[in-house]
Amino acid sequence: MYNKRYRLVWFFLALPLVLAAVVSQQVWGYVLGRPAPLTDDFALVDDVTLATLASTCYDGNLVVPEQTSALTTELADLYEQSPNDVPLFRSLASLDVPMPLTILYNQDVAQIVAHLLQAESPDLGPSMSPTGYYTALDNDAIARDWYYEGRVIVASGRTQDGDPLMHVSLTSGEVTNDDYHFYEYLLQPNWADGTYEILAVQHFKYEVAGMEGFEFPVIASLFLTLAFPLILASWFWARRGGEKRKRYLVQ
């Protein structure tokens, strides 16, 4: 009976942690923290492609090159200048291997990414971002309307054994207020026929203002604080029951 009383204490201690884990998983797509980038198998990066997602096709592609100004920006500067905690560049930062200093645009890579998005249909959600425009790289006088849906960074490289690899980082446009989706794919491309094999994939959500940082440690602390009166009451109830049991044994 004495042990059973203390089970209630452990229950009220464990319940907030379980609820915090469930809330974190539902809100962010992970429990304790963001999963590590899928970049461990890279031994060399050949090129990096930065592209924009459009809601309508441009020259037959859903994936279009980023504007010229971004093509000459060094990757380190681009990561440092990214607003708030945008995970789009986190995989590049984790690649401790040689890579180009500037962002390139690889049409073959863009085609594979376009096929990937059409086949996998990641849930990017309705974008709140305003209508923008795209200026063609080959002719600055040509401008087309597009609706911003997000951005893609693709690192193309090789494993230690020389096998080709593609790492796709995809961030959506603003789904709800300050709310974004992030997808990460690790692919093994076949450049001969433009096909690919998905080796790994992960997805989570993030905020750039407001709720960022409201993850498991904060949620668990909040729930434990709310549950503290119940924990304290069950503790005294368990101890009181134990003291009564001792008195009965003495008598």
Residue 87 or residue 204, greater confidence? 204
Q: 77-86: per-residue pLDDT in tens?
A: 655 666 556 6
- Whether 31 shows a pLDDT value over 60: the answer reads yes
Per-residue pLDDT tens digits for 161-183:
999 999 998 887 777 766 788 88
pLDDT-above-90 percentage for the chain: 8
Does 188 or 147 have the greater pLDDT score? 188
- Residue 128 three-state SS: coil
Q: Residue 27: what are its φ and ψ, rounded to 5°?
A: -80, -45
Which is more confident, 22 or 87? 22
- What is the per-residue pLDDT for 200? 93
Tell me what pLDDT residue 56 has.
45
Q: Which of 54, 72, 60 is nearest to 107 (CA)?
A: 60
pLDDT value, residue 197: 93
Q: Over pLDDT 70: what percentage of the chain? A: 57
Q: What is the pLDDT of residue 170?
A: 85
CA distances from 169 to 139, 166, 187, 222 (A): 28, 10, 11, 32
pLDDT of 16 above 90: no
CB half-sphere exposure, 36, CA atoms < 13 A: 6
pLDDT for the residue numbered 132: 39
Average pLDDT, the chain: 70
Contact criterion met (CB below 8 Å) for 137 and 68? yes
pLDDT value at 17 more than 90: no
For residue 101, the model assigns a pLDDT of 59
191-250 pLDDT, tens per residue? 888 889 999 999 888 776 666 667 777 777 877 787 777 767 766 666 665 555 544 444
pLDDT-based confidence at 27, cuts 50/70/90? confident
In this structure, of 45-49, 87-91, 142-146, the range with the lowest mean pLDDT score is: 142-146
**Average pLDDT of the segment spanning 3-18:** 73
Residue 133 pLDDT greater than 80, yes or no: no
pLDDT higher than 60, residue 126: no
Sole residue written with tokens 């433009």 = 194
Residues 6+ apart with CB under 8 A from 11: 234
* pTM of the predicted structure, to 2 decimals: 0.67
